[in-house]
Amino acid sequence: MNKAPPKQASHYQLPFSHLLLALAIVAVWGTNFVVIKMSLASFPPFLFAALRYAFALLPVVFFVAKPKVPWSNLCVYGVAVGVGQFGVLYFAINGHISPGLASLVIQTQVFFTIGFAMFFANEKLRLYQAVAVGVAMIGLGIIAVHTDSTTTVLGLALVVLAGFSWGIANTASRRAGSINMFSYVVWASAFAVPPLVLISFVFEGGWESISYSMAAAPPGAWLGVLWQAWGNTLFGYAAWGWLLSKHPAAVVAPAPLLVPIFGMGSSAFFLDESLPIWKILAAGLVIAGLMVNLFWPNLKRRLM
* pLDDT tens column, 90-124: 999 999 999 999 998 898 887 887 788 777 767 67
Which tens digits make up the pLDDT trace of 133-157?
A: 888 889 888 888 887 778 899 999 9
Q: Which residues contact 151 (CB under 8 A, 6 or more apart)?
A: 96, 97, 98, 101, 143
Residue-level pLDDT at 157: 94
Q: Mean pLDDT in the chain?
A: 86
- Conformational region of residue 184, where left means phi above 0, alpha means psi within -120 to 50, and beta covers everything else: alpha
262 vs 37: CA distance, rounded Å: 15
Residue-level pLDDT at 62: 95
Q: How confident is the model at residue 250 (pLDDT cuts 50, 70, 90)?
A: low
CB atoms within 10 A of CB 279: 22
Which residue in 280, 266, 293 sits closest to 27, CA to CA?
266
Give the highest mean pLDDT range of 86-90, 116-120, 254-258, 288-292.
86-90
Task: Output the furthest CA–CA distance in the chain (Å, rounded).
Answer: 65
DSSP structure class, residue 7 = S
Q: pLDDT higher for 269 or 291? A: 269
Residue-level pLDDT at 123: 67
Average pLDDT over residues 59-82: 95
pLDDT higher than 70, residue 54: yes
pLDDT higher than 70, residue 1: no
255 vs 38: CA distance, rounded Å: 25
Residue-level pLDDT at 245: 66
Residue-level pLDDT at 121: 67
CB 237 within 8 A of CB 7: no
pLDDT higher than 60, residue 207: yes
Q: How confident is the model at residue 179 (pLDDT cuts 50, 70, 90)?
A: confident
Amino acid at 278: W
262 vs 28: CA distance, rounded Å: 9
Average pLDDT over residues 18-42: 91
